[in-house]
Chains A and B, each alone.
Chain A
Amino acid sequence: MQLTLEFGGGLELLCDSQKIHKVNVDLPNGEDDLTMKHLLTWVRTNLIKERPEMFIKGDTVRPGVLVLVNDCDWELSGQLETTIQEKDVIVFISTLHGG
């Protein structure tokens, strides 16, 4: 499944300072759908190069990270249970505090 993954607000530093990743993610064995839960594991394994605790806490993203599926907060689409479709754009962004 072709997906665009984007990292921002400093999270890109965890994946070689590259913000946009065009990736191909396979469906998990025996499943018909790709959920955000599976995608998070995939990202953790394949894209995060350092300090994974800055991205993941428990089975979800760490506090202070917003997840957007096609420009929409994943809270509105079922969080970890959100089903991902071909060509979706998923953004992981850390909240900023500076001024």
Chain B
Amino acid sequence: MEANGGEIVRELKELKLQKAEIEQRISALEAKLHETTAAVERCDAVSNGCSVPTEIEHGLEHGMSPDQIYRYSRQLLLPSFGVEGQSNLLKSSVLVIGAGGLGSPALLYLAACGVGRLGIIDHDVVELNNMHRQVIHTEAFIGHPKVKSAATACRSINSTIKIDEYVEALRTSNALEILSQYDIIVDATDNPPSRYMISDCCVLLGKPLVSGAALGMEGQLTVYNHKGGPCYRCLFPTPPPTTACQRCSDSGVLGVVPGAIGCLQALETIKLASMVGEPLSERMLLFDALSARIRIVKIRGRSAQCTVCGDNSSFNKQQFKDFDYEEFTQFPLSADPLNLLPAESRISSKEFKEILQKKERHVLLDVRPSHHYKIVSLPDSLNIPLANLEARLNELTSALKEKEYGCVNTGSSTNASLYVVCRRGNDSQRAVQYLRDWGFSSAKDIIGGLEAWTADVNPNFPSY
């Protein structure tokens, strides 16, 4: 019965995906048909001996087709945007780096408004825990590349623009080539090495960079490298310490916060592409969702001392290709699992399951922050966050004593063992190292943390 259910779910998923792809193909073909019909009508007009040029007949000196006029009419009606703004937009090309929380709304609006060519680059696949903020993706695409999903959504909104898909990570080896094909670059990434790399690449290629960031309840937005304005390095010549670089997957983020910043990135991009308004250059927008405040501050201009865009900079394309951004920012993009402890101080999640089954005397210490512990925890565990461990060692000591005295078999000399768990198995190693230094010699960490518990022992244990 259960196996049957699984099959049905799989089949449904597969069919939904096929349906989305077919719908996308239909709208693309329909758009093509429209264009062909329009072209044929124009040819007919000419071959019928009608000597009036089509553009004049329709009054379309700007080259927009009747469908385009109708589609973009609400923008054409804007005196401050109008035909000129829309024509510029249709001729422009934009690369959005990252189809996540920022890229999702940015891409939807850029596709809808009629950017002529839209590039999307991302190496990730869609996951269920992305859906609350990465609103361009649908459930049918879970497990599939974000770029495919985003491109499908963009085409279903506007089948008349050109969309380029790059299912790959942006690296120093491909960045110059890819970025050089676009007029405007949108940084919708989520980590410091990518941000430095993209900014440096934009300086080398002379491209404006619309940069957004969001975390928790706050967002930031600015335009770099635009008409003599600063680059990312002018503002942040030295990378911040790794401990100051939180990820959404660790610290959390309210979905609508990157949503708001991503929309504003689309807006700044549209302004640049259509050449209307004042770009947010040499200014930065700071968004605090919780207190409902937006402040726009004046930031420094281009720094003459900047190592990349400064007066005496000799930074060139070869140096860019050889530059190690992960090393520079001390922020590895594909983190090898931490390995602090000798093998005898560690056990696997499967071994821990056996300990539970044998009812061996032990204390399970969970060192995650308490708001993580509230989401889900293993039964019978003691929560002391790593940050408070030093101050709360006595709680651990008494928990261990309780297990010893509480045991009927008082004749045994074996002490209760101490196992330490966290989310992924890094903090638990740090905790064990610390505890062993303080004389808790039986302390062992559970390799891979609760994620390994879900993966190897109990697939129904919630992961987050």
Contacts and interface: CB of A to CB of B under 8 A. Distances in A.
A98 B195 contact: no
A98 B215 CA distance: 5
A10 B215 contact: yes
A94 B244 CA distance: 8
B449 interface: no
Contacts of B238: 63-64
Contacts of B195: 97
Contacts of B244: 10, 54, 62, 64, 94
B300 A73 contact: yes
B288 A8 contact: yes
Contact of B98 (A75, A95, A99): A99
Interface residues of A, number: 25
B190 A99 contact: yes
A34 interface: no
A97 B298 contact: no
Interface string B81-113: 000000000000000001011110000000000
B220 A9 contact: yes
A98 B246 contact: yes
Interface string B215-257: 1101110000000000000011111110111111001010000
A97 B247 CA distance: 8
Contacts of B101: 98-99
Given A99-B190, A99-B248, A94 B240 contact: yes
Interface string B114-156: 0000000000000000000000000000000000000000000
Contacts of B243: 54
B291 interface: yes
A71 B297 CA distance: 5
A97 B218 contact: no
B161 interface: no
Contacts of B425: none
B192 to A, nearest CB: 5
Interface in A1-24: 8-10, 19
A71 B295 contact: yes
Contacts of B239: 63-64
A71 B298 contact: yes
Chain B interface, DSSP helix/strand/loop, else mixed? mixed
Nearest to A71: B297
Contact of A95 (B102, B216, B220, B288): B220
Given A99-B103, A99-B258, A68 B189 contact: no
Interface string A56-74: 0000001111101001110
B241 A62 contact: yes
Contact of B246 (A10, A71, A72, A91): A10
B76 interface: no
Interface in A42-65: 53-54, 62-65
B236 A98 contact: no
Nearest to B249: A98
Contacts of B208: none
B240 A64 contact: yes
23 contacts: A8-B286, A10-B216, A10-B246, A54-B243, A63-B238, A64-B238, A64-B244, A66-B235, A66-B284, A75-B299, A93-B286, A95-B235, A96-B218, A96-B219, A97-B213, A97-B245, A98-B101, A98-B190, A98-B215, A98-B248, A98-B251, A99-B101, A99-B212
Interface of A: 8-10, 19, 53-54, 62-66, 68, 71-73, 75-76, 91, 93-99
Given A64-B236, A72-B298, A95-B240, 15 more contacts: A10-B246, A53-B241, A54-B243, A64-B241, A66-B235, A66-B284, A71-B298, A73-B297, A76-B300, A91-B297, A94-B244, A95-B220, A95-B235, A97-B195, A98-B215
